[in-house]
């Protein structure tokens, strides 16, 4: 059961992002979803092409269904390139975006007039997400390496130094695309200044 959860994790993340981005219209989720669909396959393929200079023992593992991004695809006999694997590329790209989102919630200056209790809540939620996200990332990457045999140390390192910064950069682009801090949590969008929470003035008309 644990092994199967590792097999489908990136696919579940992508499907969840696609569904929620359409259901909620969250710009941050939409941008992240598009990154998974278009950017990561291209970036990973380019890294595979560049790995021609890497000795085979450092970039290949034996092909098995558990190593495929889509496990139901037929397994081609031989070896598969894990410099990095598509699985690790998608996962670390997502976590790079996720962790930068959490960091922004912590460090972002409060808007003028924003309720202090809501700002404190936003920072507390961001801190929790950051700590849990880091621990979960390390645990999942370690377990994936140990339990499946589908990763190499060098491949994981390459994924970490390329896909995590790519996720962070993609988050920055989401903020430029109109997302409120690229926020996939929806926390920042719920914090409004007091002036926005105060009912507007009303004029009453009386008939004589």
Which letter does DSSP use for residue 62 in this model?
Answer: E
Rounded Cα distance, 150 and 100, in Å: 27
Report yes or no on 194 lying in a domain. no
pLDDT of residue 192: 39
Instruction: Tell me the residue range of the domain where 81 lies.
Output: 2-185
Report yes or no on 179 lying in a domain. yes
16 Cβ contact list (under 8 Å, min separation 6): none
Report yes or no on 205 lying in a domain. no
Tokens of 171: 């988050």
pLDDT of residue 65: 77
Rounded Cα distance, 106 and 208, in Å: 56
What does the longest C-alpha to C-alpha distance in the chain come to? 93
Rounded Cα distance, 177 and 195, in Å: 26
Report yes or no on 202 lying in a domain. no
List for the chain the helix, strand, coil content (%; round to 5). 70, 5, 30
pLDDT of residue 4: 63
Report yes or no on 61 lying in a domain. yes
Cα 91 to Cα 60, 84, 111, 199: the distances in Å are: 19, 11, 33, 44
Report yes or no on 198 lying in a domain. no
Report yes or no on 197 lying in a domain. no
Q: What is the pLDDT of residues 86-130, one digit of tens each?
A: 999 999 999 999 999 999 989 988 777 778 888 888 889 999 999
Report yes or no on 143 lying in a domain. yes
pLDDT of residue 133: 95
In the chain, the number of structural domains is 1
164 Cβ contact list (under 8 Å, min separation 6): 92, 93, 95, 96, 99
pLDDT in tens, the chain (208 residues): 566 666 788 999 999 999 988 888 888 889 999 999 999 999 999 999 999 999 988 899 988 878 878 765 555 677 889 999 999 999 999 999 999 999 998 998 877 777 888 888 888 999 999 999 999 999 999 999 998 888 999 999 999 999 999 999 999 988 887 666 567 776 554 443 434 444 555 555 555 5
């Amino acid at each position: 059961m644990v092994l199967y959860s590792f097999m489908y994790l990136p696919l579940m993340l992508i499907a969840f992002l696609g569904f929620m981005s359409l259901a909620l219209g969250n710009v941050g989720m939409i941008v992240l979803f598009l990154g998974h669909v278009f950017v990561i396959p291209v970036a990973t393929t380019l890294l595979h092409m560049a790995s021609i200079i890497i000795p085979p023992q450092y970039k290949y593992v034996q092909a098995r269904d558990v190593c495929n991004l889509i496990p139901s695809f037929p397994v081609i006999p031989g070896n598969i390139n894990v410099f990095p694997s598509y699985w690790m590329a998608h996962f670390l790209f997502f976590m790079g975006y996720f962790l930068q989102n959490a960091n922004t919630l912590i460090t972002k200056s409060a808007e003028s007039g924003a309720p202090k209790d809501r700002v404190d809540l936003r920072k507390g939620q961001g801190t929790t997400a950051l700590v849990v996200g880091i621990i979960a990332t390390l645990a999942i990457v370690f377990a994936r390496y140990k339990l499946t045999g589908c990763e190499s140390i060098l491949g994981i390192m390459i994924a970490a130094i390329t896909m995590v910064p790519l996720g962070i950069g993609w988050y920055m682009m989401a903020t430029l695309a109109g997302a409120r801090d690229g926020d996939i949590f929806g926390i920042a969008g719920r914090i409004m200044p007091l002036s926005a929470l105060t009912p507007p003035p009303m004029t009453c008309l009386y008939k004589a």
